[in-house]
Structure 1
Amino acid sequence: MEFEVYNVDSTTQLGINLGKLLQAGDIICLTGDLGAGKTHITKGIALGLGINDNITSPTFTIVNEYEGGRLKLNHFDVYRVSDPDEIYAIGFDDYIFSDAVSIIEWANYIEEILPQDLLHISIKKDLEKGEDYRKIILTPYGDRYNYIKEL
């Protein structure tokens, strides 16, 4: 599925709509350039899950955990991970194979350790169409993500 958005609010709203559909154990993998909107869509997903905390990118801690919504949220940022062993050291499998929703920013950096069933979200900028324009592409891997057709 492809979406075109022209401002941050639309990116966040797409995240909210997705967050309302997410199920326990879902794994969302985000890719895109710096400033593409990965954290904005994550903020929207959190809101859609009913989490009202201030969502920030866990660049230096690798993972932030949020509760208080209908599902727990594990938010990873693996931008600074240089070796998959680093992510295993924090208990990566325990996080992603739980009942929480796991969102992984910069997932392309750890492709070799990701499970086969996941929802990949690619966010692409096109400055010719405007500074805030984004093309957001959702690609499900595995049957569990068929529900995104409801977006």
Structure 2
Amino acid sequence: MKEYSFVTNNEKETEKVGALIAPYLTSNSVITLTGDLGAGKTTFTKGLAQGLNINDRVISPTFNILKCYFKADIPLYHIDAYRLEDNDADIGLLEFIDGDGIAVIEWPTFISELIPKSFLEINITILDLNRRQILVKAIGAKYEKIIEIIKENF
């Protein structure tokens, strides 16, 4: 397992991380995002969408649980599992997580049984009003190249 930790100084830099890794993701890619409310999970996802040439307004799927963006070559599925109860995990999310697109999952611990063995784990920690500590872990060889790309740029 490769991992890398770095600091972003503002929202634009956090978005840049998402945009930077977008070209290296393929269908059936899974990214888990953890961090406190307001840490920048959706900000990261906005950058990822930009990197995939998705121009739609990306918003947190907190109340929807799932937002789908289809304007890229690969669909982007943005999942927020925060509001799911134990019994809710089987509401069809597996078809998006194990499907034809890129699945970004906020609050993955609520649906841990649906997370595949190989994924990219990103933890965002609030340091102050603008700065964020970002820890990226490649769980599986498929995501190790992404760690190297981030190291070269941050």
For normalisation by structure 2, the TM-score amounts to 0.90
Q: Which residue of the other structure, out of 22, 47, 53, is the alignment partner of 1:19?
A: 22
Equivalent pair of 1:29/1:121 in contact (CA under 8 Å): yes
Deviation at 1:150, TM superposition (A): 2.0
- Aligned AA for 1:43? K
Quick check: 1:33 aligned with 2:31?
no
Deviation at 1:80, TM superposition (A): 0.8
Equivalent pair of 1:20/1:45 in contact (CA under 8 Å): no
For normalisation by structure 1, the TM-score amounts to 0.92
Quote the residue 1:10 is aligned against.
13
Equivalences for 1:65-104 in 2 at 5 Å? 65-83=68-86, 85-89=87-91, 91-104=92-105
Quick check: 1:147 aligned with 2:145?
yes
Deviation at 1:79, TM superposition (A): 1.0
Aligned with 1:135: secondary structure? strand
- Deviation string 1:53-81 (CA, Å, 9 cap, x unpaired) is 00011111110110111210000001111
Equivalent pair of 2:27/2:101 in contact (CA under 8 Å): yes
Looking at structure 2, the residues matched to 135 and 15 of structure 1 have their Cα atoms a distance apart, in angstroms, of: 14
Looking at structure 2, the residues matched to 14 and 75 of structure 1 have their Cα atoms a distance apart, in angstroms, of: 16
- Deviation string 1:2-59 (CA, Å, 9 cap, x unpaired) is 2211100100111110112211110000000000000000000011111110001111
Looking at structure 2, the residues matched to 7 and 23 of structure 1 have their Cα atoms a distance apart, in angstroms, of: 27
Q: Which residue of the other structure, out of 129, 133, 136, is the alignment partner of 1:135?
A: 133
- Report the aligned-residue RMSD: 1.1
Looking at structure 2, the residues matched to 61 and 87 of structure 1 have their Cα atoms a distance apart, in angstroms, of: 14
Consecutive unaligned residues of structure 2, counting only runs of 5 or more, are none
Quick check: 1:107 aligned with 2:105?
no
Q: Percent of aligned positions with the same letter in both sequences?
A: 37
Select between 27-36 and 110-119 the one with higher mean Cα deviation.
110-119
Looking at structure 1, the residues matched to 63 and 56 of structure 2 have their Cα atoms a distance apart, in angstroms, of: 19
